[in-house]
Amino acid sequence: MEHICPMCEKETKVTKINTSEVFTIKNEEITIPVEYFKCLECDEAFDDPKSLDDPINRAYREYRRVHGLIQPEEIREFRKRYGLTQKELSQLLGWGGATLSRYENGALQDDTHETILRLIMDPKNLFRLIQDRPSALTQQKRNELVEKFELFDSVQCSFRSIYEERFSIHPPDLRNGFKKLDVTKLFNLIIYFCLNGVWKTKLNKLLFYADFKHFKDNSSSITGLRYKKFAYGPVPEHYYHYFASLHHEEKAIKVEEESSFNFTGEIFTSDIGPDLSIFSTAEIRTMEFVKDYFKDFNASQIRNFSHEEKGYKETNLQEFIPYNHSDSLQI
């Protein structure tokens, strides 16, 4: 391999070195993999000048993942979900103009700001803050946000909020992909997979693969769901509640019983499109990949495929499959 060596100031033969580097973050050592080039002529090492990768940013991401902190893209997604600019959200929070921008661009948040961000990302708390600080936003923006919420009571009593409060009690860890349950994303992910009709058994596996594939590639699940090992494959915890709510209360999916060969089951179909604006670009990429990969699999085939996963094989029945098994995922 040849590359321009900044020491020799000419094109020389180089070798790529893969190793690890230790960063100390808040008195804690974080080890991440790194790669660099080594010139075979002068024996000096140098980074790839074309690479946009910043090891310290990856170290911060790993620190956040280990401690269950909010990642930069989650802050951006939350802000954009409600149509807020950085300046508008900063004014609501009472922060300086540069603080939010730094966090969205990779700076590590302090503990106090992490707590505030966690609180404000609850729709009920955001709604209260908008009411308590009327001067932070223009009247037009306040009206737009109130309309988004529809009515505070509906936000407070919605099935999504009830599920958030009932099931999102588990702190971020390896069982939920280092993410608290996000019912809005979960519901829209279900709708996404139901657009052209899908067997319930296959749907459960698609959710599993979407979350585990995203964790494999991005160190975080999409929904924060926990998955148990059942005889017929990995199954999301409390899945029957979510399916029932989407069918009966939100009228977002239709359910029909059908037979195919020797198999009888339920097919879920959605006539409405998911709100893709709530997902990050990386999440949408994962969703599209999983849907395309399994497009020709029937319910039995994807069930049998999931049985070959190392995480499935090494987990006891009725126990949660930890997300660290995503390293050996077949896709």
Please report which helix (H) or strand (E) contains residue 207, including its range: helix 200-218
Percent of the chain surpassing pLDDT 70:
92
Q: Is the confidence at residue 157, as pLDDT, over 70?
A: no
Q: Considering its fold, how many domains does the chain have in total? A: 3
Task: Evaluate whether residue 159 is within a structural domain.
Answer: no
Q: Based on the domain organization, do 202 and 293 belong to the same domain?
A: yes
CA distance 259 to 241: 24
Q: Based on the domain organization, do 95 and 146 belong to the same domain?
A: yes
Mean per-residue pLDDT for 240-261? 83
Q: Based on the domain organization, do 121 and 184 belong to the same domain?
A: no
Q: Based on the domain organization, do 138 and 197 belong to the same domain?
A: no
Q: Based on the domain organization, do 180 and 272 belong to the same domain?
A: yes
What single letter denotes the amino acid at residue 111?
A: D
Task: Evaluate whether residue 292 is within a structural domain.
Answer: yes
- CA-to-CA dists, residue 196 to 111, 114, 271, 272, 302, angstroms: 44, 40, 9, 11, 17
State pLDDT tens for residues 138-156. 998 888 887 776 544 444 4
Task: Evaluate whether residue 65 is within a structural domain.
Answer: no
Count CB-CB contacts under 10 A for residue 206.
24
Q: What is the pTM of this model?
A: 0.60
Q: Is the confidence at residue 7, as pLDDT, over 50?
A: yes
Q: What is the CATH number of the domain that holds 34?
A: 3.10.20
| Token pair recorded at residue 3 | 């590359």
Residue numbers of the domain that contains 229: 164-328
Q: Based on the domain organization, do 230 and 206 belong to the same domain?
A: yes
Q: Based on the domain organization, do 180 and 318 belong to the same domain?
A: yes
Look at residues 154, 180, 195 and tell me which one is the last residue of a structural domain: 154
Task: Evaluate whether residue 59 is within a structural domain.
Answer: no
Task: Evaluate whether residue 121 is within a structural domain.
Answer: yes
CA distance 328 to 19: 21
State pLDDT tens for residues 101-110. 999 999 999 9
Task: Evaluate whether residue 262 is within a structural domain.
Answer: yes
Look at residues 112, 128, 154 and tell me which one is the last residue of a structural domain: 154
